[in-house]
Amino acid sequence: MSHSKLQYRFFLFLLVVVSVLFGWLLWPFYGAVFWGTILAILFAPVHRRLVPLLGDRRNLAALTTVLGCLLIVILPTVMITVSLVGEGAAMYARVKSGELDFGAYFQQVFNAMPPFAHELLARLGVTDVSSLRERLTSGLMEGGQFIAGQALNIGQNTAQFVISLGIMLYLLFFLLRDGAGLSRRIKQAIPLSDEHKRTLFVKFTAVVRATVKGNIVVAAVQGALGGLMFWVLGIQGALLWAVVMGILSLLPAVGAGLIWGPVAIYYLVAGQWLHGLGVIAFGVVVIGLVDNILRPVLVGKDTQMPDYVVLIATLGGMALFGLNGFVIGPLIAALFISAWDLFSSVGEAQEGQALPGPAQDGPR
């Protein structure tokens, strides 16, 4: 092995080691770094428009963009989270005291079922209603206890939250100001052709913007509409159920119907036909159509993936990375599909170049 090849391999080994160590160093604040990067990608067009308006003062443009992001995104999210945790803790207290008994609601629905439904449940082996009721109550108690625990953790980890928020805003400022140069350096370091690098970077930014802008806006609108419906009906914990419906709206083929559907069934079996039919109509027509109307406008057809891929990637991402996984999962899936499409196109191009040309007659 030549000396130059040995140096090159040692350099690659050193590069991998220091990259892993740097990632390990950032891991305690990976959420702040991740969302700082995501927000920089989302608000980069705003920053680019502000730069000429502010006399090419990039620092002032970046600071203005960060302040706008703080007012539009971060502060409302913090306020909703604090209210949500407080409402979740209050609901847990009502469930624990017996004031709110979901098991009794389930028993009422079961008793109102027609005979054929009881026979069907018996064939499925679902006969022990009291056991199901206890499991339902226990599950809700555990969920409420988790939310109450999160309320306590937020109070205890205020310093860590403030530090993470400060790191995210600090990183967001410099990514907005120096993001163009940093992006060029990253492109130069990737050993691919300019066309392939452009394809991957365009796909990356498009998927980030589509996932965050499209999915979050759709989920927020559907959750807000569901919460408004529950508030009008006088259902306790409307904000909590709104957030739950918003989170479920991130999952295709599942959606907010997992929340408003049982509510509609309860109203129907309880004899409140107007409320039950109203919930179904509002859920199907208003909440359901939001996805069909807003998502194509915000996401676009070019960045959409099959629903089953989005569902599996979102669930897997949330299982591995928590709530951040609803962005990380679809992003990894989209890059996986893009990389394989790129690999396939390169392979087809190489095969086309390797094919012999048409035979030509020699001199006669």
- DSSP string of 12-55? HHHHHHHHHHHHHHHGGGHHHHHHHHHHHHHHHHHHHHHHHHTT
Side-chain-side CA neighbours of residue 204 (13 Å): 12
Judge whether 203 lies within some domain: yes
- Above 70 in pLDDT, residue 99? no
Q: What is the mean pLDDT of residues 63-82?
A: 84
Contact 253, 311 (CB under 8 A): yes
From 151, 179, 207, the end of a domain falls on 179
From 129, 153, 179, the end of a domain falls on 179
Are 286 and 321 members of one domain? yes
Banded pLDDT at 132 (limits 50, 70, 90):
low
How confident is the prediction for the chain on average, in pLDDT?
A: 75
Judge whether 15 lies within some domain: no
Are 132 and 238 members of one domain? no
| Out of 184-198, 212-226, 274-288, 325-339, least confident range | 184-198
Are 281 and 321 members of one domain? yes
| Out of 161-165, 276-280, 296-300, 331-335, least confident range | 296-300
For residues 2 and 267, the model is more confident at: 267
Q: Give the three-class secondary structure for 323.
A: helix
Number of domains in the chain: 2
Judge whether 275 lies within some domain: yes
Judge whether 38 lies within some domain: yes
What integer pLDDT is reported at residue 254 of this predicted model? 65
- CA distance from start to end of the chain: 52
Are 208 and 337 members of one domain? yes
Judge whether 142 lies within some domain: yes
Are 92 and 205 members of one domain? no
Judge whether 64 lies within some domain: yes
Are 253 and 154 members of one domain? no
Are 159 and 221 members of one domain? no
Are 165 and 214 members of one domain? no
- Above 70 in pLDDT, residue 138? no
- Above 80 in pLDDT, residue 113? no
Are 163 and 238 members of one domain? no
Q: What is the mean pLDDT of residues 100-129?
A: 63
From 119, 147, 179, the end of a domain falls on 179
Judge whether 315 lies within some domain: yes
Are 224 and 257 members of one domain? yes
Are 202 and 78 members of one domain? no
Reported as a single tens digit per residue, the pLDDT across 213-238 is 777 788 888 888 888 888 888 887 77
What integer pLDDT is reported at residue 64 of this predicted model? 92
Banded pLDDT at 355 (limits 50, 70, 90):
very low
Q: Round to whole Å and give the CA distance between 61 and 54.
A: 7
Judge whether 351 lies within some domain: no
What integer pLDDT is reported at residue 363 of this predicted model? 47
Are 34 and 68 members of one domain? yes
| Out of 59-73, 245-259, 308-322, least confident range | 245-259
Angle, in degrees to the nearest 10, between helices 158-189 and 194-209 = 150
For residues 42 and 310, the model is more confident at: 42
Q: Round to whole Å and give the CA distance between 250 and 91.
A: 24
% residues pLDDT > 70 (the chain): 69
What's the domain range around 306? 194-344
